[in-house]
Structure 1
């Protein structure tokens, strides 16, 4: 996917948040630590440094949500990590109940909160829940 395609899908998936621009995606993709994983209808952008990996963003076309694409993207991310990676983490909006349920079902646990982290186009800012999963050798994505 091109940076413009990533930005368009991100904007469609995150209608209440400020979407990331094509320039922001292009800059991230230029980083040697960032990886892009795609599936038809979605993508995950991750950054792995030393023994820790972060899910920067995951977007699924709203017309294709709740069909296993997000689960498959997380699985692809975790199983592709180098064996020395010991933890994976992400931030998710506190009001994103479907995403929080997905991550919990995949072994992620809440470890902290960033207060008023996500600015909304309308209404007050929403907390970010920081979720972490300890990884073992072999990194089963499920």
Structure 2
């Protein structure tokens, strides 16, 4: 699958040979980044994974999701710092939601750090609503941070 966004951007399925670039984005965006092994395992078990890239340049971001039993779970969505603020996160969410609907999911769930205000704004604009908290979900320098549990109803 490859979706044309305009003349310069495309979304396609993540491949194993994308993992090094994905890890590069991940390691600059997060204090506690996923390992190469986690990304490899996600692809191995069949999680849905996309990358977004300019036609003539390096990867700008990625998203991974698990879709099963009527539910999609966004596991990770990240953009390179230079790619933020261009609507690319929304485009990745569009791909996830479209795939989830094709697979008969009724809801998309995700966790997000309360301190990640940019991601929280993106998810709020997209229509996600807070369903609860997962205490101590994320690692932190001195104390673990809660996760906000968000959901989006995607039933037709």
TM over 0.5: yes
1:116 Cα deviation from its structure 2 partner: 2.0
Which residues of structure 2 form unaligned runs of 5+? Answer: 1-14, 54-59
- Considering Cα pairs closer than 8 Å and 6+ residues apart, tell me whether 1 or 2 has the greater RCO: 1
Deviation at 1:92, TM superposition (A): 0.3
Q: After the TM superposition, which residues 43-58 of structure 1 pair with which residues of structure 2 at under 5 Å, given as runs? A: 43-58=62-77
TM-score by length of 2: 0.80
RMSD of aligned Cα (Å) = 1.4
Q: Does 1:35 align with 2:48?
A: yes
Deviation at 1:124, TM superposition (A): 2.5
8 A contact 2:67–2:103 mirrored in 1: no
* Partner secondary structure for residue 74 of structure 1: helix
The SS at the match of 2:98 is: helix
1:8 aligned onto 2:24 = yes
- Which consecutive segments of 4 or more residues in structure 1 shift more than 6 A? none
The 3 A distance-change label for structure 1 pair 49 and 83 is closer
| C-alpha deviation, 1:83, in angstroms | 5.2
Give the TM-score normalised by the residue count of structure 1.
0.87
Q: Find the aligned partners of 2:143 and 2:84 in 1 and give their Cα distance.
A: 25
Q: Give the superposition deviation at 1:80.
A: 2.1
Number of paired residues? 133
- The structure 2 residue matched to 1:130, chosen from 129, 143, 149, is 149
Distance (Å, rounded) in 2 between the aligned partners of 1:57 and 1:97: 16
Determine the C-alpha separation between the residues in 2 that align with 1:67 and 1:126: 28
